[in-house]
């Protein structure tokens, strides 16, 4: 499995054509098996499988602490497309409904209105209590410089990225993936497994901010999200209720702040 693959392509410019070698972003399925039963299949860029699975489980409410995992392993050293997870007995007893895929919405679903999604998520995610202010100018610099931490984007022009920073702007981790959800899961999962997630105060994203990304950051107790593109209306509604700060790049320069601006020192 490779994060990127080389492919010969034809470039045409209306008057001539030529052969070029391009790098394509890798995309393969990852099956997440919990307690011996298939739980989910996500399409992702190969790499950081355990972090991706851990971040996914945190976002879903399957785990609250790394101690809730008994094991989290790839099923085969040569095939990283399956991650098998077992949970502690006490955790299994607490989340029987979740393991049966009942009572929680983690992905966009047809036929479910925004108010129902927000109501459901409020039952699973607690408001963020960290109100430490951070410097808006330095937050903007993190956003503007995100592409410096995207080697796969340089090769393929196709990957999303998520970078996590501390309140004093130490870069804690960065992850890339074909999916914006996966990139954030990988970044959160890495810090979660190494017990450093409590240091994260700012998530910087290459994408728009959808409600799923707000959910994932809230489960990780990350209070501020800054992104290249604008948030959706549902993301702003959810973040407002969860005491999270959302911002994106302004059209000319600076930030557009959508809710809970008290955390960004202007």
Specify the length of the chain in residues: 266
135-186 pLDDT, tens digit per residue, is 999 999 999 999 999 999 999 999 999 999 999 999 999 999 999 999 999 9
The 8 Å CB, 24+ separation contacts for 86-91 are 86/34, 86/35, 87/34, 87/35, 87/62, 87/63, 91/63
Q: What residue has token string 């950081």? A: 48
Q: What is the pLDDT of residue 111?
A: 41
User: Which pair of structure tokens corresponds to residue 259?
Assistant: 């809710």
Q: Which residues carry out catalysis? A: 110
User: Which pair of structure tokens corresponds to residue 130?
Assistant: 């960290």
Which pTM was predicted?
0.90
Q: What is the pLDDT of residue 4?
A: 87
- d(CA 222, CA 130) in angstroms, rounded, equals 8
69-95 pLDDT, tens digit per residue, is 999 999 876 678 999 999 999 999 999
Which of helix, strand or coil describes residue 172?
strand
Domains belonging to the chain, first-starting first, are 134-265 (3.40.140.10)
Q: Are 248 and 231 in contact (CB under 8 A)?
A: yes
């Amino acid at each position: 499995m490779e994060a990127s693959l080389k492919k010969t392509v034809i470039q045409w410019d209306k008057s001539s054509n030529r052969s070029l070698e391009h790098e394509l972003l890798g995309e393969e399925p990852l099956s997440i098996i919990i307690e011996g039963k298939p739980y989910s299949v996500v399409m992702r860029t190969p790499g950081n499988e355990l972090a991706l699975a851990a971040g996914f489980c945190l976002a879903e409410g399957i785990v609250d602490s790394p101690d809730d995992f008994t094991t989290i392993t790839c099923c085969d050293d040569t095939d990283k497309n399956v991650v098998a997870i077992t949970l502690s007995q006490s955790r299994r007893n607490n989340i029987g409904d979740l393991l049966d895929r009942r009572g929680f919405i983690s992905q966009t679903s047809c036929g479910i209105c925004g108010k129902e999604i927000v109501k459901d998520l409020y039952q699973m995610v607690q408001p963020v209590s960290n109100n430490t202010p951070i410097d808006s100018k330095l937050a903007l610099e993190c956003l503007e410089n995100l592409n410096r931490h995207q080697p796969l984007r340089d090769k393929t022009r196709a990957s999303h990225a998520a970078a996590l920073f501390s309140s004093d702007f130490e870069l804690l981790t960065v992850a890339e993936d074909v999916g914006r959800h996966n990139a954030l899961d990988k970044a959160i999962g890495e810090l979660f497994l190494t017990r450093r997630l409590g240091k994260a105060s700012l998530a910087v994203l290459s994408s728009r901010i959808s409600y799923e990304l707000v959910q994932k950051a809230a489960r990780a107790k990350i209070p501020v999200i800054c992104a290249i593109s604008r948030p959706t209306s549902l993301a702003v509604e959810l973040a407002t209720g969860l005491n999270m700060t959302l911002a994106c790049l302004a059209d000319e320069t600076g930030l557009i702040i959508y809710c809970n601006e008290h955390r960004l020192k202007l």
